[in-house]
Amino acid sequence: MLGALLTFSGSLEVLMDVEPNGPIEHKCDYSEDYPVMGFLQLCADRRFHSCLQNQFQKDANLDSAQKYWIHADAGGTPAMAHLTTAPDYCYHTKGVKVMGWSAHGDGCGGFPGQPDERIRQALAATAQEKVKAYPKATHFVYFATMIKEADAGEMVLYCMKYDKTAE
Ligand SMILES: [Zn+2]
C-alpha cells in the first residue's frame, strides 16, 4: 500500500486502482465553522504544544481549539519570522485581534545545541517585530521549558502580554 502510494503519487484514482478494496474512509466529528478568532505560532515539538495551546486559549478567552489557527514548525516564532502567509491571512483577511508567539528551551530541534537563554532572547526580538507588524492585535508571548529537579522535571511556561489596543 505504501509502496503503491509512493510509486503512483499522482492521483487518488491511481491509488484506488491498486488497492483492491479501495481506500479506507474514516468519519471525523462534525465541527462547526467558527469564525477565526486568533492565531498561535509555536514549535512543532510534541512536549510543549498542548501546554501552549491551553494557556493561549485561557489568555485569549477562546473556549475551543477550533476557534484559532495554529502555525507550527521547528523552532517556533524565532525560526519562523519570515513565514508570514498564515499570520498575514489571519490578521489582514480574517481580522484576528489575539495573536500568540512562542518558543521553548530544554533542547529545540529548530535550535540544535542552543541554550534556553539564547532562544528566549531570539523570541523576544522576533516578538517585538510581530507586535509592530500587527499593531491592532493583543499579543501573548510564551516561552516554555523544563526545570529539572533531582529526579523529576517540571514544565514551566513564562507569559508576557502586549496589549497595544490599551495604549
Ligand atoms: Zn522546538
> What is the per-residue pLDDT across 40-76, written as a single tens digit (0 to 9) for each?
999 999 999 999 999 999 999 999 999 999 999 999 9
Q: What is the pLDDT of residue 136?
A: 96
Q: How far is the CA of 111 from the centre of ligand 1 (A)?
A: 7
**Confidence category of residue 13, pLDDT binned at 50, 70, 90:** low
Q: How many residues does the chain have?
A: 167
Q: How far is the CA of 145 from the centre of ligand 1 (A)?
A: 10
Q: What is the pLDDT of residue 4?
A: 43
128-153 pLDDT tens trace: 999 999 999 999 999 999 988 877 78
| Contact residues for 143 (Cβ-Cβ < 8 A; gap 6+) | 102, 103, 104, 105, 119, 120, 123, 157, 158
Domain range summary for the chain, segments of one domain joined by +: 1-30, 34-166
Q: What is the pLDDT of residue 20?
A: 66
Distances in Å between the Cα of 151 and the Cα atoms of 147, 148, 166 are 11, 8, 44
Q: How far is the CA of 109 from the centre of ligand 1 (A)?
A: 5
Q: How many CB atoms lie within 10 A of CB 48?
A: 25
Neighbours of ion ligand 1 (CB under 5 A): 43, 45, 108, 110
Do residues 40 and 34 lie in contact, with contact meaning Cβ atoms separated by under 8 Å?
no
Distances in Å between the Cα of 1 and the Cα atoms of 14, 21, 26, 88 are 12, 11, 17, 39
Q: How many CB atoms lie within 10 A of CB 64?
A: 11
Q: What is the pLDDT of residue 3?
A: 43
Q: How far is the CA of 15 from the centre of ligand 1 (A)?
A: 35
CATH code for the domain defined by 34-166: 3.40.1050.10
Q: How far is the CA of 152 from the centre of ligand 1 (A)?
A: 21
